[in-house]
Structures are given as C-alpha cells and as structure tokens.
A and B are shown apart, each in its own frame.
Chain A
Amino acid sequence: MSKTFRLSGYGRVDRSRPVTFLFDGKPVKGYAGDTVASALLADGRHLMGRSFKYHRPRGPVSAGSDEPNALIGVGEGARHTPNLRATQVEVHEGLVAISQNRLPSLRFDVGIVNTLASPFLPAGFYYKTFMWPHGFWDKVYEPLIRRASGLGKAPTAPDPDEYGLHYAHCDVLVAGAGPAGLAAALAAGKTGVRVILCDENPEFGGALLSDSHSLIDGVAAAQWVARTVAELEKLPNVQLLTRCSAFNYGPHNMVALNQRLTDHLASAPVGMPRERIWQVRAKEVVLAAGSLERPLVFEGNDRPGILLASAARTYLQRYGVLCGRKAVVMTADDAAYRVAIEMAEAGLKIVAVADLRANPDSAVVAEARARGIKVLPSTTIQRAHGHYRVGAVELAPVSADGAVGKGRTVSCDLVLMSGGFTPSLHLHCQARGALTYDDKLGVYLPGDSVEHVRSAGSCRGVYALDAVLRDGAEAGLNAAGGEGDLPVWTVTRQDQPGEGGFAGALPRRGPGHLALAFVDFQNDVTAKDVKLAVREGFQSIEHVKRYTTTGMATDQGKSSNVNALAIVSKTLQRAPQKVGLTTYRPPYTPVTFGAFASHARGDQFDPLRLAPADGWARAHGAVFEDVGLWRRARYFPRAGEDMLAAVTRECRMVRKTAGIFDASTLGKIEVVGPDAAEFMNRFYINGWTKLGVGKCRYGLVCRDNGFVYDDGVVGRVAKDRFHVTTTTGGAAGVLNMMEDYLQTEWADLDVWLTSITEEWGVIALQGPKAREILAPLVDGLDISAEAMPHMFLKEGTIGGIPMRLFRVSFTGELGYEINVPSGRMREVWDRVWAAGQPHGLTPYGTESMHVLRAEKGYLIVGQETDGTATPGDVGCGWAISKIKPDFIGKKALALPALNAPDRLQMVGVLTDDPHYVLEEGMQLVAAPQMQAPASADGHITSSYFSPALNRSIAIAMVKGGRSRMGATLYAPRLDAAAVRVTLVDPVFYDPEGARVNG
C-alpha cells in the first residue's frame, strides 16, 4: 500500500507547484492549492491538535471554516497567529505551522490527565468549584485556570504587518459564492446595478468544487463555476472578492468583510496590507452562506479519523486526498451515499453504510447498493475506539422504539458521518432576522428580518442543485430591483436531497454516564454535560449555553448548536421550536485585531493636535502633556531642573517680571447676530445686556440641572458680536449645547455660532512687565492702564497682523491674551519673545498655569467641579443674575437642595507642615483616627507647592466649608498618620486683587 493518500486524477491542487512547509518543526510536502489540513491528510496524518479542556487528540472534522478541532498556530515571532483553522490555512513555501495546547508534544501531552479526570469536570465545574474562599479567586484559581485554558498563544511583540479598512457601497452584496451566490451575483450583475460578491475561500464555487457528479447545462459543476466567474469578471459593475469573509452584519445593511491578502503568499509585495476590512453599505444583501453538515453525537466521536462525509468528499475532489483506507459511513441522510460511492470509486474500502433510518430507499441508496456497498439500515454507532486515530466502531442495531441492541465491532481507520445539513444562519441572525423551525427538515430556517436581506439556497433549506440555482438567481434579480432577465440553467444528474437527518445524541445502549460524546468539539462539551445542565434546572437554551459553554467557542456553534438544541429539547420533552436557538454573535470567523485597528495605529492612532507655538516649545525643551487630543507644553525645564524646580522658577518669574504661555487651545466661539446678547443672557447664568462693547466678563455655564458645566471669559467685540471662550476640553461640548438650545428651544432668535477655536491663536502675556513688553508692539494702540483697564478688549494690529487684545488674567497678575490669526501666531510669538528678553520674559506651561491660578483661588471646571457643583458651591454665586426672567439652570438653582448650607463648598486648605503637599483626591475627615467606613467631610481637588507663599497650598470641596474657616480636619493616609489641615479662604495670594489692576 502506498504511503501517500494523494490520488492522481483527483483534486484541484496544482501538481506542477510542489510546496514544502513546516508542521511542528518537520517538513511536510504539499501542492499549491492545499490547506495545511489537506497536506497533512495526504500524509495520512489526522492528529492536528489537542482539545481545549480534556486535551484529547483531535483531527479535522470538516474541510472549511466550521472546523472546531484542527486549530493551529501559523507564522513565527511577532507574525505568529494562533487558533487558525488548518482546514482554511493555505500552504505556501516556507509556511511555519504548529499544533497547539499540547505539552510537550502533540503526541505526548500531559494535559490528557484531564480526560481521566473528566468524570470530575462536569458542566459548571468552574462555577461550582472555584466559589470559595472568596480571596482565592484572584490569587489562585484565576491564574491556574488561565494557564490551563486557551488554545494558542498570542504573540507579545507588536504586529509588524499593515492592515487596511475601507468603506464601500453597493446595490447588492452577495455573501457566499457557491451555486446560489454565483447565480445571485450574475442575475443582479446583469441588470447593471453595483454588485459585490465575496467568499471566504480562495476560489469561488463553494460545494460545486467538490461536486463531480452534477452537470449544469451539460458541463461539470466546476466547469460551470469557471464559466460563470468569467462572465462575472466581464461585468464592470460587479466586484469579486475571494478570501473575504462576511463576518459581521450590522444595522442598516452595513456588512463587514474581512479580506485576507497576504497570508497565502510565500512573499508579499512590500506595503501590501495583510488584511483589509470592508465596511460595505449595501442597499440589499443576498445571503448565500450555504449549509453545514452536522456531526453525529456518539461516544468517541471526536477521535481523529472521524469526519463529516462532505468534508471527506471535499478532500477527495478538491485536494485529491483520500482520508483513509477503510471507512464506516454513519448517516441519517442521503448525501453520504454519494460520498460513499465516490470514495469507493477512488479506492476507499467502505465497510458499510450504517443508516439510522429504517428504510433508506432513494435513488442514490439504490445506486450504492448496486455498486456493492453494504447498507445497514436501523444501525447506529454505539462507540468509536482508538486514541490517536479511530481504529474500530461498534455498529449496533436500533429498534423502532429507539432501543439499541448488542452490536459488533468492525475495524476501520475512517468514519464518515452525516447528520444532515444545517442552514448557516449566522449572518441572518446578526441581521436580527427571525427564525422559523421547519419540522420536515428538522432545522431552523431564516424568517423575516428588519434589514433589506434575503437568503438563497441551502442557507434557507433549499438543497437540490437546480432549486438552489433558481433560488439564487431569483434572489439576485429581486435584490437588484426585479427588472431584467432571470438566468436559467439546466441541471442533470443531480441527487435529490431526500428525507432524513438527525440532531441530538445518537441512541445508545446503557446510560452512558462516563461516555464522552461530544456536542461542541472546540469547547469540549459533551452530551451528558448538556443533559446535566437541564437536570440541574437550566431550561432556557441561553442559560444552558452559558453553563456548559456549548456554542461559545470561536466557531460560534457552527457544528454544535442544533445538536445541543435537540438534546435539550429531548431532555426537557419540549419541542425544539419551544426551546429556541441561542444568539449567533459576530464575528462569523475570528478576525485579526490588526485589521480592526487598520491605519489607526502608532502615531496615527488618534489625531495629535498641535498648538501654534508647539514648534517653539519643542525647540525650547518643553516637557509636554496631553490634554484631550491636544499636546500642550507642561513646563520648560532648564539644565538640572525637575518639574518642581522648573515650575517654581516659572511661577516666580511670572509674578516678578512676565511669562508667556500658549493659550490657543482654549475653546472659542463667535456668537453673532442681532439677538446675540439675548442669546447670551439665556445661555449663561450671568447678565450680558449691560456689558459694553470692548469689555470682557467671566461667564459661567450651567446645565438645566443647576450644575456648573463650563466657564470662560467672554468679550463683546460689537453690539451684535461676542467672542466667547470655553475651557480647552469643553469647546465642542459648549458649542453643541449652544446649538441645541438655539435650534430646539430658541429657534426664533437671530443669532448664529461659529467655532473660532482654531482661527485665533492666543498668546497669554502675564506679569507686572506685560504692558511694558507689549506696548511697543501694538502699532500705536493705547494699552495704558487708563485706556485699557482689566477686563477690557481692543481690536488692533500687532506688527500689521490683526489682533483682538483681551486684558484678562488667569494668574492674578497684570496680563493680556493676545488673539491673532493662528496661521501667523508664531510670528507674533517670536516678536513678543524678543521684546520680552530685556525684561526676563519666561515661557511657562500648563503646570505653572495651574499653580498660579490656584494661588489666586481660581477654579478649574472639571477639577474643582465634578458635575454636582453649583456656581454657589465654587464661590461664584455672585455671577448668577438676579434679574433675568430665565436662563439655563435658573429653576434648579432656586431649589432648596441646591442651596443647602451643608453642600460641598470650595475652600482653601493649609497643612500644618508647610512642606507637605497633599495628594489630590485625598479625603478630609473630622478626626485623626476614624474607623472605616467613615463618611468624609470633603476632599482635596487641587494641591501644589506655592512658590509665591513658599509653602504648600490646596483647594478642597468641604461640607459647609465657607462657614468653617479656621476649622481643623484630617487627611488620612494609608501608610502614615493623618495630616492635620486648616480650612482657609481659597484666595491665597494678593487677596485684595491689586496686582491684576496694575
């Protein structure tokens, strides 16, 4: 007997292109067109993996994406991908593949002891066992379980490959290019509408590629496929995607496709993405996902060498590989007879076709009998024997009442099983399609969906080839609008689908308490696990699923769901349609994370927004921090300075001479129109009517619940024009909120909003020397203290560049915010910087900005406030207009609860030890030693070392804080005694506010 199982005269692999790849370090020969599974099977090797829980030896059970067993790792180092289906991985020269979940080797795996322990690992084992003691979960159970579970290992290095993501639009998307999909695409394509046809396989044709029997229009099925694909390729409105899985059906017909571009290539062109996700918005979708043959559930059904009958046919007809020498066929369905006939023709010895049915009598059964194949009606497999490979099965008679008699054991190295075909409903279900149970077929079929989707072919239970082609063509034409010619094909020599099929556990003799008959191969869930779950009271199929984990593996129950359902149905003695089916979740097949990330990676992960003086700051050694998407200079250390030293120096220079700061990231909105002042009155808590042109005011925004939302200085540029500033983080939110009220509540107002955040760059020039530095630069504009006091605004030019000059201060010093067109800000910055040099002008960053404002007790929204603070709580009750009839928050701010005396109020905090800087977030309690749980009196919101005071300062929100000045509180620490603090006024520096008016 030849050592190889490769047959000449069969298969579609390219014999002129031999390929060598490595499996577990050893070379394996195959041909271009092989999968790892077909190449190994050609060597007679079925053992390809170990199971998840019991570490049982496993071989492929299928020949496609439904494969639960033969999961392998492919590639090396950072390019390693775990858990790929060997039945789909195409071989190429140099491919490196490994088996998984085995220690030390595939053949000798110590984890097999779990099989011996299997009586002690029933359904829900983890839930029952690892409950107690509580503290054990983190430290003992979880690490143990994590080490023992899982299949492959994810690589730890960053993924070096490129990925893509594109949007696409079409009139008709056809998912699946078997007979129904090809017919649909052609029918739709010929009408001229935009069509996309995708299929997960390297070539179109689906089951037709394995069908050497049927003739379509007088030619072999595979030839018809070639002809049809050629016809589709000629249509410019049709796009064809192979190696492309429709894996997610999103709302409103947005279907995600995953296209694999390089994994099958020995060397990919530089820059070619490994995978690409297509987000396809389709007007109509035709699902031609086909059907999946159901495994049969019997003891030992997971032994290598036990395959689906259709898979064996595929290995023969597509890959020229015979899966064994001597086979038993176990079926409840006619299709397996065609497989038996073809396999026998190819040289496989068929010991017998065991048929669960009492009277199989269709044409194909008769043909098998006529060819001398032994047919055993009313027969089941009681048990399969073997370890690394099936060696024998016990065939046992089943009586009409289901009782199983004593059987006989026959030797074999291959078992081909067929429980009938389950329509692939995954995408239909993801499209929120209803399901209807078909009693005759014993399966669920697609029902109505809210989406513009239709199923065609065997995924909706249409099995005969001529009917599938017709169904596909009709679906395609209807999806395209219904106008056009319906392609018609004549099928000869086709097998009729016949009656039968079986779901659930095969009948067996004896109770089978110790029998491992697998329902879900990938998650190692057995028939007795499912029965046990029901006995323990789980009646909902969704609960059974979670308790047993059946259908929860990466194959999403492709082969297991219907069998699990049937077992539950039988155990509960409730009709399958009353039990229901669990939810199929995306992805249909696993998708590489890299594909989801696509071009959003590395520096391009998020936009990095650079302020106009960013380049200058970089050149001057700034340390940066991210604020939202912005990168902002945090401080400018000189040689040998740490942050505290740099910030201390920056703050002192601002208070002594002047500092320069890029404040461009502040949100800015231009509010324009005859009703601008009225709008501002309604939106802000402050009054605006009396604000003169050329003046500024600090504004506070509340939400209608009365809590502070944002703040900022507003300047009135003209009677009908306000220049509004917001916090950096609040810019988009404030504009959205303004538009919301304007468009939905106050649509009568003639006022409009424009974001000018990026129109104006802002240079904050702060410090006692600010005016001296600025005055010579502003082209004759009078900025003297008399002409331009604090909170005034002037328009002018600075070196010929247009300018809106605000005299405002967030430092408590004399200061300006120089607004200039952002594209020219750098020029202005350089000029100010040069002019400031004789005065000792110093750049400062966000950290110093925070310290300077804290010394003055200025709040930062989002730091002092947390979404539950009113203006009064943060000391801004003065800003609330008493005379406006309404504004956002007015009603809420009048509620007693929002004015209660014991609300958290903003106060200053000083530690006894002037060198100790509190942690922001520390709680404040009444006594130094309090037993937990204790309620806090407040918490620290801001805390710094203040260079101006030469001691630590903090701001806190404290219950009734404003009436507790001088009170003592304690800030508990985990590792040391509580810190004693005193509540003080939050304005630590220059409480009279003289400096700002300098």
Chain B
Amino acid sequence: MLLIECPYCGPRAEIEFSYGGEAHIDRPGPEVSEEEWASFLYLRENTKGVLAERWRHAHGCGRFFNALRDTRTDEFKAFYEMGEKRPDAEKKEGEGA
C-alpha cells in the first residue's frame, strides 16, 4: 500500500485516497477544435518514468492535490497543491525513453 503525503494532512495510507489520473490537463473551452477536444478527453502520456498525477484525499480532508510519481518504482518525488506548477527540478530526471 502506497504511502501518500497529502499536502494538508501529511503521510497517509493509500486506502484513504482515490486516484485522479494524469495532472496538468487543462480543460479547454467549447471553442477549441474537435481534435483538441478529443485530445483533452482521451489522450494521456502513459509515462514510464516520472508522472504528474492527481490524488484526492477522499477519506481525509477531501482535497485534490498533485504528486510526481515514478511509475517504474512508485517512488514519489513531490506532492504539491492544485494550481501549483509542476516542480521543475524533477521534471527531467528519470523520464523514461
């Protein structure tokens, strides 16, 4: 069971959380092209390496937040609040081929 560090409540066991998929996917307005909309709906990176993803502390404070997790090892590199930028330092490191 993963140990996930909620930015508000601290480290907690995975069963308190629900997964929210890849992070930093901005929802476009209805004015975008159909291709852009399809991409927003359906296209994800499927990263092998450090992935920015969303979690919700569903059985805790209820807040959504972001995490950087290496999908090869499950190692978390960072936890940060919604609206914050992806921490740059980790962006390159460990990104798979």
Contact = CB atoms under 8 A, between A and B. Distances in A.
A892 B28 CA distance: 12
A894 B30 contact: yes
Nearest to B70: A450
B9 to A, nearest CB: 15
A253 B2 CA distance: 8
Nearest to B54: A744
A795 interface: no
Contacts of A740: 20, 56, 64
A747 B83 CA distance: 9
A736 B2 contact: no
B83 A250 contact: no
A606 interface: no
A281 interface: yes
Given A740-B64, A747-B83, A432 B73 contact: yes
Contacts of B3: 251-254, 281
Given A740-B20, A744-B64, A251 B74 contact: yes
B37 A254 contact: no
A890 B30 contact: yes
A254 B83 contact: no
B30 A743 contact: no
Contacts of B32: 891
A279 interface: yes
Interface in B25-52: 27-30, 32, 34, 37, 40-41
B78 interface: no
B1 A739 contact: no
A6 B58 CA distance: 61
Task: Using C-beta atoms within 8 Å of the partner chain, give the interface range for chain A.
Answer: 20 to 34
B30 A886 contact: yes
A252 B74 contact: yes
Contacts of A279: 1
Contacts of B37: 891-892, 895
Interface in A205-242: none
B30 A251 contact: no
B16 interface: no
A687 to B, nearest CB: 16
A316 B51 CA distance: 56
B86 interface: no
A705 interface: yes
The residue in B28, B34, B40, B63 that gathers the most chain A C-beta atoms within 10 A of its C-beta is B34
Contacts of A167: 13
Contacts of A281: 3, 13
B73 A450 contact: yes
Contact of B27 (A251, A450, A704): A704
Contacts, number: 59
Nearest to A753: B62
Interface string A716-747: 00000000000000000000100110011101
B2 A252 contact: yes
B75 interface: yes
Contacts of B2: 251-252
Contacts of B64: 739-740, 743-744
Interface string A698-712: 000000110000000
A704 B41 contact: yes
B41 A705 contact: yes
Contacts of A432: 73-74
A739 B56 contact: yes
Contacts of B83: 747
A894 B31 CA distance: 11
A895 B74 CA distance: 38
Contacts of A251: 1-3, 74
B88 to A, nearest CB: 21
A97 B3 CA distance: 42
Contacts of B73: 432, 450
A450 B54 contact: no
Contacts of B18: 736
Interface string A48-63: 0000000000000000
A473 to B, nearest CB: 28
A744 B64 CA distance: 8
A432 B34 CA distance: 42
Contacts of B70: 450
Contact of B74 (A450, A885, A886): A450
Nearest to A741: B27
Contact of B34 (A250, A736, A890, A895): A895
A747 B82 contact: yes
Contacts of B58: 736
A891 B3 CA distance: 38
A747 B30 CA distance: 19
A279 B34 CA distance: 48
A313 to B, nearest CB: 40
A133 B61 CA distance: 58
Contacts of A704: 27, 40-41
B20 A250 contact: no
A163 B74 CA distance: 31
Contacts of A254: 1, 3, 13
Contacts of A747: 82-83
B79 to A, nearest CB: 13
A743 B82 contact: yes
The residue in B30, B58, B70, B73 that gathers the most chain A C-beta atoms within 10 A of its C-beta is B30
A744 B66 CA distance: 10
B81 to A, nearest CB: 10
A250 B1 contact: yes
Interface in A867-912: 885-886, 890-892, 894-895
B52 to A, nearest CB: 13
Interface string A248-284: 0011111000000000000000000000000101000
A891 B30 contact: yes
Contacts of B13: 167, 254, 281
B34 to A, nearest CB: 6
A39 to B, nearest CB: 40
A890 B37 CA distance: 11
Nearest to B65: A743
Contacts of A890: 30
A745 B64 CA distance: 11
Interface string B82-93: 110000000000
The residue in A279, A281, A743 that gathers the most chain B C-beta atoms within 10 A of its C-beta is A743
A740 B82 CA distance: 11
Contacts of B28: 891
B82 A886 contact: no
Contacts of A739: 56, 62, 64
Interface in A889-945: 890-892, 894-895
Contacts of A736: 18, 56, 58
A745 B27 contact: yes
Given A450-B70, A885-B30, A891-B32, 18 more contacts: A252-B2, A253-B3, A254-B13, A279-B1, A281-B3, A432-B73, A450-B75, A704-B40, A736-B58, A739-B56, A740-B56, A743-B64, A743-B82, A744-B64, A886-B30, A891-B29, A891-B37, A895-B34
Interface of B: 1-3, 13, 18, 20, 27-30, 32, 34, 37, 40-41, 54, 56, 58, 62-64, 70, 73-75, 82-83
The 10 tightest CB contacts between A and B, nearest first, are: A252-B3, A450-B73, A891-B30, A251-B74, A743-B64, A254-B1, A450-B75, A890-B30, A891-B37, A251-B2
Interface of A: 167, 250-254, 279, 281, 432, 450, 704-705, 736, 739-740, 743-745, 747, 885-886, 890-892, 894-895
23 contacts: A251-B1, A251-B3, A252-B1, A252-B2, A252-B74, A253-B3, A450-B70, A450-B74, A704-B40, A704-B41, A736-B18, A736-B58, A739-B56, A739-B64, A740-B56, A740-B64, A743-B82, A744-B54, A747-B82, A747-B83, A891-B37, A892-B41, A895-B37
